Amino acid sequence: MDRPRSCFTAAMLILALLLAAQAAPDAAVAARVDRLLARTPVIDGHNDLAWELRDKQGGAVEATDLSRDTAALPHPLQTDIPRLRRGRVGGQFWSVWIPADTIGPRAVEMTLEEIDIVRRFVAAHPADLALATTAADVKRIERAGRIASMIGVEGGHQIDGRLSVLRQYKALGVGYMTLTHGKSLEWADSATDAPRAGGLNPFGRQVVAEMNRIGMIVDVSHVADTTMRDVLAVSTAPVIASHSGARAVTVAPRNIPDDLLRAIGAKGGVVMVNFYPAFLSNAWRAWDAARTAYARSAGVAADVYGARAPAPLVAWDAAHPEPAVGVKEVADHVEHVARVAGHGAVGLGGDYDGINGTAPQGLSGVDGYPLLFAELVGRGWSDADLARLAGGNILRVMEAVEAVAARSARLPPVDAMAR
């Protein structure tokens, strides 16, 4: 029976050749992505490592060795220098988030403590990290083979209603401020709270004007649609959404509707796509809502996932498998923003270490960015558009904001308070 065997052997040879042919483009794509990101590294708009070091690592900044894998720590992190290197990250905006219900002078104190944490972990790794406050700084630091480190304040409550505090944050190196977090302020409304200001009130418009004057980027992630529209009407500089998605793809209040995506793009701004599964997938969002409802009924915390979750939730998770969310879903949001607002209006803001340890499959930490670029190569993206996504778009915004500030240099500070 040699013939059947010879046919089988020939068939297996053909199959092997086909599989090899399919593998070759993968290697070629990986090499293309590697070359591209070596030339134009990723500049990510939002990472919450500072709070995680404070909250989960007990504030022991110097004791947490970011030069080693932090995924194996008792409280795992999604960020460390080896993974930033593998992810081809050349610039990172480090968020100095504090809880939205912390207000008044204590909010300012905590923000200063968070800024101090960022400056300390950057100083602890001088061979790899360096502070940057301008686009020129970022380019210089990237050329030197280090990772440019910028700072973003994640909520207008952190200025305690004082433009003087805003200016001092800028003096300490803060590059952007998100106008609200999860709660509305008397001067700006949040996407996830009842309105108080009707968008921006007069003081809110002064905040935006002063940010333009001093060269601080206005960040509209977390804000209500009304607030976003008011910002776009008032701001003389491009704005960013440092970590948001497209509402047409996933229905979440924190995601941005198409008309505002277009308006941000028309203003020269950038929407930096978030990697939190709740903003990427309607199915995951529904699953998480059911999970949260069960957690409340069981009297346990809902914001812990995986094996570290409370025992009732581990059992619930086993009976209700988590919907799959992966690189495809991230790419869907990136492509939607690009289609609606233009390839010049999309960037990346992973929100790592701010998403309770969740992440899309394959993108569990800051080393995963090349997988997204490979996915977009498969969808026909050009190198020029990929370079804009990686860092070109946010660098252009930084330069434009700096130019507005330079033209405003002779204008006096606005001496205003919210109350």
Query: What residues are labeled active site?
Result: 46, 48, 154, 181, 222, 243, 351
Sheet strands (E) in 280-338 = none
Query: Which pair of tokens denotes residue 100?
Result: 């939205």
Of the chain, the end-to-end C-alpha distance in Å amounts to 93
d(CA 266, CA 83): 35
Strand spans (E) along 23-120 = 42-47, 89-96
Which tokens is 167 given? 């200016």
- Calpha distance 397→268 (Å, rounded): 7
226: buried, middle or exposed (CB in 10 Å: 19+, 13-18, 0-12)?
Answer: middle
Tell me the CB-side half-sphere exposure of residue 407, using CA atoms within 13 A: 8
Q: How far apart are CA 145 and CA 197, in angstroms?
A: 45
DSSP 390: I
Residue 62 token pair: 């110097």
Q: Which of 201, 188, 118 is nearest to 158 (CA)?
A: 188
Q: What DSSP line would sit under 266-282, residue for residue? A: HTT-EEEE---HHHH-H
Sign (positive or negative) of CA dihedral 258, 263, 266, 269: negative
162: DSSP letter: B
- DSSP conformational letter for 20: H
Query: How far apart, in whole angstroms, are the C-alpha atoms of residue 182 and residue 139?
Result: 33
